[in-house]
A and B are shown apart, each in its own frame.
Chain A
Amino acid sequence: MAQLQNLPDELQLATEAHVKYIQSLDSRKDEYEYWLTEHLRLNGVYWGLTALHLLKKPEALPRDATIDFVLSCQHENGGFGAAPGHDAHMLYTVSAVQILALIDAFDELEKRGKGKAAVGKFIADLQNRETGTFAGDEWGEEDTRFLYGAFNALSLMGMLDLVDVDKAVDHIKACANFDGGYGLTPGAESHSGQIFTCLAALSIVGRMESVEADKLGKWLSERQLPNGGLNGRPEKQEDVCYSWWVLSGLAMINRTHWIDRNALFGFILRCQDTEKGGISDRPGNMVDVWHTLFGLTGLSLLGYPGLDEIDPVYCLPKSTTQRILGSKD
């Protein structure tokens, strides 16, 4: 890793700028964009907070205010919305659980929230008991993102027994394609994001036996393009967020060495705004907190110096998942 210290300034990780950028996100209430993205607020807190933990600045957002905000998004039925007044949905419920896991605050859910049992029930009720997959909310849209979210949150709360794991695993198998990858639903094209959700769900329940690791590893490694960045599907453009979706998949099948580490480091670091902080999808574009997190998780998975280690299955720091689930090694 010594050679990284010799990289030009723009290829050093601008840690301080990124911390400031994330801290500034909630003070942008005079920007129209802040209000247009309210439907992502709770996800945004998770993205920002996880990024800060990776940057080893876990205290950079106030813990109490974070818990207050998370709980203000909870509904009577246990589910969480994106912000107060927004409907409950799997995507936000998972973010809420992840945030509380990250800051070790499950007890607050019991003290001041609706309790873990209600959250678990909200999630479990979204399982389609016939096919095993999960809906996002009461309106019934189903895809593997929600299945993964359910496994992620329930396992962190120790409540996986509320759902039919075997059926869900069968459903994931039905989403597999000839190229070794997985799609959003049975029949859908392989996509790196869905490969992450399917592999991580299988990892959580220790059911990786059906994964065609060599075939999938080949497909995932072919995502790296000459500029070092990764794309999400064949013949598409690179994007920093795939640094996470592709790389975490490779990590779960122990093949991160099938792509070029330094080339990806270079690509992610070129996407930084070194002055004002944040990481963008491609060099020179607008930064956002989502790409900031997934740039950092990519760097972390490949062992970039000075970053906390990320868990490829949960997208939480390993220190967090080890505290909650015990060491898997």
Chain B
Amino acid sequence: MAHVLMPRLGVSVTEGTVSAWLKQVGDPVEVGEPICEVATDKVDTEIESTVAGVLTEQLYAVDEVVEVGAPLATVAAADEATAAPAPAAPEPTAPEPTPSIVPDPAGFGDSPDTGPYPEPPAPELGPRPEGADDQYAVVMPRLGVSVTEGTVSAWLKQVGDPVELGEPICEVATDKVDTEIESTVAGVLAEQRHAEGEVVLVGEPLALVTPDGALPSAAPAAPAPPASEPTAAPAAGAAPTAQPAPQRAAQPSATAGPTVPGRPAELRPAPFDHTAAVDRLLATVARAGRPVAAPSARRLAAELGVDLALVPGTGGGGHVTRADVQRAAEQPAAAPVVAATPSAAPAPAAPAAPVPETTGHPVGPDGLPIGYEDVPYDAVPTSRIRRVTAEHMTRSRRTAAHMTTEVDVDLGLLTDVRARLNAHRATQGRGKLSFLPFVARATCAALLEHPDLNATFETERLLRWGEINLGIAVDTPRGLMVPVLRGAERMTVETLGEGITDLAARLRDGKPGPDDFRAGTFTISNPGSVGAVSAPAIINQPQVAILGMPTIQRRPWVVRLADGQETIAIRPILRLALTFDHRALDGADATRCLVDIGRRLETWDVDDYR
């Protein structure tokens, strides 16, 4: 019996949604054979079986979310498949004594070392409540007051390796120190939660160490087969078999455990370790399952009418601080002000309708917007991409101070240049280039002169990125996607054009890789492709600006003739819109960059683009 696990489908992918099962219970599966389809916010992919045998259980239904590393399905080897999948209770007819009730008396005398208080039996992996994985997790410790994360530089233990308490399991590099992380749990390494090179936040689990190396949630929901017990049971003696916790490192200042007669009593905990206390405290932030805010921040949020659930926390472990609340309150159109819920007092009979954070409007008891109960409707489930986009867009609008600047660009000259270039390409059997790669090329050239727009804003600092990773917003049947052209500043118009075509093809086929979406530093959105005549956009965080490219319109335009006279001509005009984060830079900076892009588009000759 083995599990097919949800694989890590990209550096930043933590979960996926099962979109379809390709194999049903009872179906034979080969290694490498797809068993289901999973959608993440980055890619849709088929999950291949890592085990050969017969599918005995689908652990997630379609549309359920699976975390990376969790078992997706159970596959029994061909010979076990015939056995009943759920082990039966101990057979009542078994002639052997029931060792867990009647201990072998000799067991006491034989082991003077352990005395009358035998070691607790090895923990059993039985059904456990949700969240019990915590006890198996080796958590990224706080390696210094100001250290909030580290990078896994090397794994010293591999999955399946036995691990002792205090034994180094991996090396972690922070900006302060490089250090080995020691296990706080004894057992067998069941999972490396992060690959080498990945960044781990303080308080996040680095690894799971379980008594037998099995993933906790992979434990079958049935007791271990009784046949394997008899040898272990006498050693366990009469000790209670109920769920012993796995062995853990002594936690300073944790409550002392119960005392055992005849053993040295641990009445008082070890000296208080403030650093460990911070770790433990901040680790609870992520586990809280609700917005975690300092009491003072809660009071401020109540005073200012800010919904804490919508405030991004920048405090330790990601908790919401007073400053976070203040920021959220100061941002226009930011976190919805609870007190300002419009017309939230409907019929007097109805108590104030709650405004779920997910909908943004008051919802009645039947789950419909108040007042819409008699309107026919279809409920269409939203895709994962839709939900991710929704969250991403509102977060961006909430955190960034959006402002848009626009310029009109006369593409008359460029139209000729493009025609000549495409004609030349046609002779070589290569496809036509649209205007997009020209705009992208001019944008990259301008960004090199205006590096503050190819950046990330972090209040205390602006990160100017040393390469231009150009995101291209693409409308796909599955939703908006923004693949990234890495190192676009080194590309010519033609390589840009081919890169965009290539990415678009991969998107269309549903075969993009996770790295196709990573590390964008600037984005171009092209609503002109569907006819928009203006193109303000929402900034693609953590970037600070996005260029909107509407449709090119033929307009009556004042042009200067060779003799100095002016006349009105019909020109192809592109109204470029640069939306930028006014926190990071000012309107003049952004407009200078945009004018630069326009100037390059208006004046460059064909060789400038190659």
State yes or no: do A and B come from one complex. Answer: no
